[in-house]
Structure 1
Amino acid sequence: MSFTLAIVGRPNVGKSTLFNRLVGKRLALVDDQPGVTRDLREGAARLGDLRFTVIDTAGLEEATDESLQGRMRKLTERAVDMADVCLFMIDARVGITPTDEVFAEILRKRSKHVILAANKGEGSAADAGVLEAYGLGLGEPVRLSAEHGEGLNDLYSQLMPLADAFEEKAKEAENEAPELDVDVGEEDEDAPRPITDAKPLQIAVVGRPNAGKSTLINQILGEERLLTGPEAGITRDAISVRRDWDGVPMRIFDTAGMRKKAKVQEKLEKMSVSDGLRAVEFAEVVVVLLDAAIPFEQQDLRIADLAEREGRAVVVAVNKWDIEEDRQGKLKMLREEFTRLLPQLRGAPLVTVSAKTGRGLDRLHAAILKAYAVWNRRVSTAQLNRWLAGMLEQHPPPAPQGRRIKLRYMTQAKTRPPGFVVMCSHPDKMPDSYSRYLVNGLRDDFDMPGTPIRLHMRGQSDKNPYKGKRKVNAGALTKHLGKGPRKG
């Protein structure tokens, strides 16, 4: 990426709409009500032949205290300091407001490169607002319509000379950087996918509202990157952040708190939950974050079960452990409840953490890597069939209607999560209890605790191809054919 562009402005001027258009995907939530965006969201943008990073920010408010609006403003100001270029958006149909004038003055002081954009500029109703924009003293405004894609050529013309300048600086820095000799080594086909900067480990942090998801991720990052506070439901978008955590490249998704479906009435909250569910689908490891004061609520169980059904590696983390008094007794109770309430995740890592103080993050890091390794586990066919013979000897399959089900052989079809196929007779008559017996055996004997295991019974015909055919006696066959050539 050649440079970073931050889109800033008052609430509801169309920042997220433009962000989605530049990245070419509906990543940011968009709604008519103001203040939908609260966190900083980054994306890889494309405009013509330009490639750059774009940051969607919360709407600038005049609040400067520790209220939610004040904290959102501080986060946006931080994005202004991070970015190479600021795109200051106004609503051309509303015109210039006193708030716009205040923020224009702030941007003049804090940002070296500011581009003024008059959004919602389609039609004659926006003419007056576009003319007013000249009075901000930020140069000629770019007349845009983020919703309809109008005016992007003018934006390209403003960005192009800046992109060239940033590219020159990047080349100079690259020439000065020392070369590194890296030994890549040989690849193993059965080994887990290597975690690299290009393909980092994907982690989604999910849980109920106010469990401390954003605070935990901020602690991992070592900076206040995500908006936090005592209010429940602050996070709305599924925000992804990149981080090398103890030398391991990771992309961590912060998701909106998921309440019971019956309580989710507002359209915006439905969109937020849907965004979080999509993050779970793309993740490789899902961290289910519980509140130590009220762990394993019904909604916690649903969230953990969702991650298991999606086939993701699961780590259960219990937050706010720093305020727990009887830690040994509570930990024992948690392990018993976990085993009883989530048998489908038997053996999954259970880690206690404090997002506020950072205690337990080393254990969480180790648990995530272990869960990922188990999720990628591969067992050879020879090992599986020796194991299957022992399981059959220990506990033979049932015989529905007096006909015993024969299990012939077994192989692993896939990883991520581990999936196995058993060739057998009458797969439709195999009871679930026997499948669970085999799955639990796989967990214990091949060290696959907690990861989802998929076991498929596939039918194999035991029909004899010669059954029912007439048996011909060798002597009769000779007599029928004759002993030799007939004499003429």
Structure 2
Amino acid sequence: MTFTVAIVGRANVGKSTLFNKLVGRRLALVHDTPGVTRDRREAPGSLGQLSFTVIDTAGIESGDKESLQARMAQQTMAGVEDADVCLFMFDAREGVVTADEIVAQLLRKAGKPVIAVANKCEARFNQGGEAWALGFGEPIQISAEHNIGFADLIEALAPFAEKSESDEAAEEDESNKPLRLAIVGRPNVGKSSLFNCLLGSERALTGPEAGITRDAIAVRWEAEGREILLHDTAGLRRKARVAGNTLEEMSVGSTLEAVQFADCVVVVIDALQAFEKQDLTIADLIEREGRAVVFAINKYDIVPNRAGLISKMREKLDQSLPQLAGAPMIATSATTGEGIDRLLPAVLAADKAWNTRVPTATLNRFLEQALQRHAPPAISGRRVKIRYMTQPKSRPPTFALFGNQLKALPDSYIRYLTNGLRETFHLEGAPLRLLLRGGKNPFAKD
């Protein structure tokens, strides 16, 4: 994993010239005319021994909120959001002007690490004091056109490469950890039988009596080249059923703890009594905990009439818990082994969705198409403005939507975007989070 560098500044300070130097070829147009660059451009770059992704951005200029300048600035800020570090570039020959101060203010609000870069330093740079006042430390003096000062730029960027390597090692460590998989459900739906069937041994006590399992049991298991920490848990009863019974309360607590530490949860459903209120309560709990979900419709071998049963169950789930729409649903029988071979692939797919990260550029192409198909509604005669989208984290996939009046968006439109994300990026089985980040448009004139 390499880190990402965004080159940011007002128009005509040499951003595209530096971009071309870093990528090693003339990808971006360079001209004395301000505003040649309008869309942000990404490409692999290098400097000395450092390798990274570099983003060339449009110059930030003030303008009406619907103007070309404002839309260009929005593209720039989307690039900033996607970067690990920003190179704030200004013209050393002109010094720090009002437009530079506006850019600096936006970068401070973005909260990203910033390195100040004074470009066009072919001659002596005597205005360092003005640059210090921006709050980004002493500027690095370079000339992108004449390859001056790049050694200092390498030194400034090196710590971000080290951090990237550290993050990559952490990701590798995370990928080497076993997948934590919990089997949950209400009592007597066949959780322990399914647990034994997956392991291929009678590891957990089973029987027709409800509530045999009292404590969550964890067993390491390797399947399809992946190490899995498999938890069998006690049945989750209604609160009224366990209130006052210390042992029952402890069993429920053990199950909830297993869910909280799980990556993915298999919710076992009795095919003969599917999706009762307690089933939906359990599934909703897991979604709120942010865990990947797979439904195992167990005891399928004794269902008298199977025709269309799974479709009916899926329809009921989608209506009752739209936040889990499309979650994998596998018909199983722990007694005969039916469907067991399809359960683990569904779990691995849900875990992959849970860990998915979508690039910002790809997300905003999706958003543009979604807005074209179905524009946000008007609120009190004013159209809600959705500007761009990013993904700040995964596990579960969490997306941030930026714009004006977003708090006024109806739930139906939020579901429209969420369902679109799930379908477009194959996030079935992973609960999605959509954060609304509004505020005053920083690019509009007062």
**How much does 1:352 deviate?**
0.9
Which one of 196, 200, 208 corresponds to residue 230 of structure 1?
208
Post-superposition offset of 1:326: 2.1
1:254 aligns with 2:224: no
Q: What corresponds to 2:36 in structure 1?
A: none
Residue of structure 2 aligned with 1:299, choices 255, 278, 283: 278
Change (3 A) 1:436 1:390: same
Once the two structures are superposed, the pairs formed by residues 433-452 of structure 1 within 5 Å of their partners are 433-452=412-431
Match of 1:330 among 304, 309, 314: 309
- The answer to whether the 8 Å contact 2:354/2:429 transfers is no
User: What is the CA deviation profile of residues 313-360 of structure 1, one whole-angstrom value per residue up to 9, with x for unaligned ones?
Assistant: 100001111222322343333233233333221111100111122221
Note if contact 1:381-1:411 (Cα within 8 Å) is conserved in structure 2: yes
* Structure 1: gaps (5+ residues): 1-185, 468-488
Residues 464 and 354 of structure 1, relative CA distance in 2, 3 Å threshold: closer
Equivalent of residue 220 in structure 2, options 239, 242, 250: 242
Residue 423 of structure 1: how far off its partner (Å):
1.1
Shift of 1:391: 1.4
Q: CA 1:381/1:312 → structure 2, altered by over 3 Å: closer, same or farther?
A: same
Q: For residue 328 of structure 1, give the secondary structure of its aligned residue in structure 2.
A: coil
Q: 1:203 aligns with which of 151, 160, 181?
A: 181
Instruction: Tell me the amino acid that sits aligned with residue 189 of structure 2.
Output: A
Q: Which amino acid in 2 is paired with 1:241?
A: V
Work out the CA distance in 1 between the residues paired with 2:207 and 2:392.
46
**Is the counterpart of residue 402 in structure 1 residue 381 in structure 2?**
yes
Query: Structure 1 CA distance, aligned partners of 2:445 and 2:312?
Result: 62
Kindly provide the CA deviation profile for residues 353-399 of structure 1, in whole angstroms up to 9, marking residues without a partner as x: 11122221110011101111111111111111111111112222122
**Larger gyration radius, structure 1 or structure 2:** 1
For 1:285 and 1:444, locate their aligned partners in 2 and report how far apart those are by CA, in whole Å: 19
Matched, 1:264 2:245: no
Residue correspondence of structure 1 range 81-96 to structure 2 within 5 A:
none
Residues 212 and 355 of structure 1 are in contact (CA less than 8 Å); yes or no, is this contact kept in structure 2? Answer: yes
Shift of the alpha carbon at 1:289? 0.1
When residues 329 and 464 of structure 1 are mapped into structure 2, their CA distance, relative to the original with a 3 A threshold, is closer
Aligned equivalent of 2:435, options 450, 456, 464: 456
CA distance in 1, matches of 2:307, 2:377: 43
Q: How does 1:26-65 map to 2 (within 5 A)?
A: none
The number of residues matched between the two structures is 281
Cα offset for 1:190?
A: 12
Cα RMSD (Å) of the superposition? Answer: 2.4
3-state DSSP class of the match of 1:230? coil
TM-score (norm 2): 0.59
Give SS of 2:345's match. helix
| Structure 1 length-normalised TM | 0.54
Q: Is 1:358 matched with 2:333?
A: no
Contact 2:386–2:406 under 8 Å retained in 1: no
Gaps of 5+ in 2: 1-164
Q: Which has the higher contact order (CA 8 A, sep 6+)?
A: 2
Counterpart in the other structure of 2:107: none
Q: CA deviation at 1:412?
A: 0.8
Q: CA deviation at 1:288?
A: 0.3
Distance 2:194 2:443 in 1: 62
Q: What does residue range 58-137 of structure 1 map to in structure 2 within 5 Å?
A: none
Partner of 2:395: 416
CA contact (8 A) 1:378 1:418 kept: yes
Amino acid at match of 2:350: A
Partner Cα distance (1:190, 1:301) in 2 = 39
Identity of aligned residues (%): 54
Distance 2:442 2:360 in 1: 25
Does structure 2 conserve the Cα–Cα contact (< 8 Å) formed by 1:220 and 1:245?
no
Change (3 A) 1:381 1:465: closer
Residues 385 and 406 in structure 2, CA contact (< 8 A), matched pair in contact too? no
The 1:358–1:194 alpha-carbon spacing in structure 2 relative to 1, beyond 3 Å, is farther
Change (3 A) 1:358 1:452: same
Corresponding residue for residue 286 of structure 1 = 265
Task: Assess, with a 3 A threshold, how the Cα gap between structure 1 residues 192 and 210 changes in structure 2: closer, same or farther.
Answer: farther
State the match for 1:161 in structure 2.
Answer: none
Structure 1 Cα separation of the partners of residues 423 and 170 of structure 2: 21
What SS does the corresponding residue of 2:198 show, helix, strand or coil? helix
C-alpha displacement of 1:235: 0.8
Q: Note if contact 2:215-2:254 (Cα within 8 Å) is conserved in structure 1.
A: yes
